Amino acid sequence: MARRTVKIDLRLTESEAAALNRDVKKAGVSREAYLRSLIRKMPLKEKPSVDVIDILKNLQQINNNMNQIAVKANAKGFVDTASYWENVRWLKETVSKLMEVMYP
């Protein structure tokens, strides 16, 4: 990693500083990291909420479960319908939660 040897002092108005601090908090990084990303023309996106992260984890688990059901169905020639429908129910609940988070 390159050594950072150049120091730049920057003066901002109260509203500019407040906007910078708000954006830094949303991105979940330090001010320095945020400003460096802007200089590289790679603005950071807002860090997803804990709710969204939990929903994505659930979707990954449901995907894994459905793949396992498909593998078992191909190997044995029949579908475990109880597991299948349980995952369908879980998927519907998870999508509903996602919609609540996205469109409160």
Residue 99: phi and psi, rounded to 5, are -65, -40
Residues 6+ apart with CB under 8 A from 43: 37
pLDDT digit string, tens, across residues 66-86:
999 999 998 988 888 898 999
The H or E element containing residue 60 is helix 50-76
pLDDT digits (tens), the chain, 104 positions: 678 899 999 999 999 999 999 999 988 899 999 999 999 998 777 778 888 889 999 999 999 999 999 999 989 888 888 989 998 999 999 999 888 887 87
pTM value > 0.85: no
